[in-house]
Amino acid sequence: QQWRFVTEEVEGQVQYVYAEEFADRMYEKTDGAVEIDVYEFGGLGSETDQVDQLMQGTVEMAIMSPGFTGDMVDEGQLFALHFLFPDDIATTQDILNNSEALNTDLRERYEEHNISPLAFWTEGAMQWTSNDHPLTSPDEFENFQMRVQTSPLIMESYEAYGANPQDMSWGELYTALDRGTVDGQENPIFFIGDASFHEVQDYLTLASHNNYVAMTTVNTEWYEGLDDDLRALVDETTEELQDWVFEEQDRQNEEFLTAIEEDTDNPTEIVELTEEERDVFREIAMDVREFYRNEVSGVGGEILDKLEEEIAEHE
């Protein structure tokens, strides 16, 4: 069997190496009966095109960021909420692994669209980049053109700080930052460094205002049609890779922080927010949580309520 596995990242980046590792393990476990072709970002269109392809079954597997499904699965937008998960990344990953709100309830919402998220995993804490000034207070977001993924709730989160959010594919982002079409963006450090956004930005503000969560997804109909043994191997491999990808993102985020610090040709000033500075953002972000409950969630915030309880149990 030949399966197609599409990612939103390019060779070497976390999602891509994840898919390669997944393909290798499946090949070995099935003695070569399953061959998976891994597609890097760009070849099959934009991130939202890839969501369509998975839904249609033109690809069987995909790594997907919930930010690109915002117009489709309302509850998937809860990952846009700032300061929701604990600052400690390992604790956050533990919650992602065990949360019933995500692995059962949210999964069901995606399955209504023929997408099954088999696992949720972090690609690291998100940080901000900008020119002219770091982003240490909401004042500095005033009229700031912030590039975001295509999720109404991500937009709402930045509008709450006073910014003008603009959605676009990351494939256009380097040029947009270079030309000043947008002023800044958010991403984990490995991605900022690997995509060279720091070359066209002056400041890296370590805000850790959110976690970048990715999902290992499959086309539901296809997955349910697999032989039981094969489906069990897919599940087993997904499970095995949770620890593997945690180590991988950790390694890449550290490696690229050093690379950005040492890139003297493209100097970047790194500013870490104090807890007091983060609290100012946190307070505004709490109102966005209410907005999500009242205006966005199709199930009255039930999934968020349950997730918040699960998070509280870990703290």
Closest contact distance (angstroms) between CB of 99 and ligand 6CS is 21
Does the protein bind ligand 6CS through residue 149 (CB under 6 A)?
A: yes
- Window 158 to 177, contacts with ligand 6CS (CB under 6 A): 170
Question: For residues 198 and 59, what is the distance between their CA atoms, to the nearest angstrom?
Answer: 33
Q: Which two tokens stand for residue 244?
A: 């593997």
Does residue 150 touch ligand 6CS according to CB under 6 A?
Answer: no
Contacts for 306-314: CB closer than 8 Å, 24+ residues apart: 306/100, 306/101, 306/105, 307/78, 307/84, 307/95, 307/99, 307/101, 307/102, 308/84, 310/95, 310/98, 310/99, 310/100, 310/101, 311/84, 311/85, 311/86, 311/95, 314/86, 314/91, 314/94, 314/95
Asked if 248 interacts with ligand 6CS (CB under 6 A), we say no
Asked if residue 151 lies in contact with residue 210, where contact means CB atoms within 8 angstroms, the answer is no
Q: Supply φ then ψ for residue 218, to 5 degrees.
A: -135, 155
Residues of this chain, 1-20, that bind ligand 6CS according to CB under 6 A: 8-9
User: 34 or 44, CB closer to ligand 6CS?
Assistant: 44
User: Residue from 191, 223, 281, 292 that binds ligand 6CS (CB under 6 A)?
Assistant: 191
> Which of 165/188 has CB closer to ligand 6CS?
188
Q: Does 47 bind ligand 6CS (CB under 6 A)?
A: yes
Is residue 188 involved in binding ligand 6CS (CB under 6 A)?
yes
212 binds ligand 6CS (CB under 6 A): yes
Total binding residues toward ligand 6CS, as defined by CB under 6 A = 11
Residues 213, 35: Cα–Cα separation, whole Å: 27
| Total number of residues shown for the chain | 315
Interface with ligand 6CS (CB under 6 A), residue from 5, 6, 62, 65: 65
Instruction: Please report, as ranges, the residues that interact with ligand 6CS according to CB under 6 A.
Output: 8-9, 47, 65, 123, 149, 170, 187-188, 191, 212
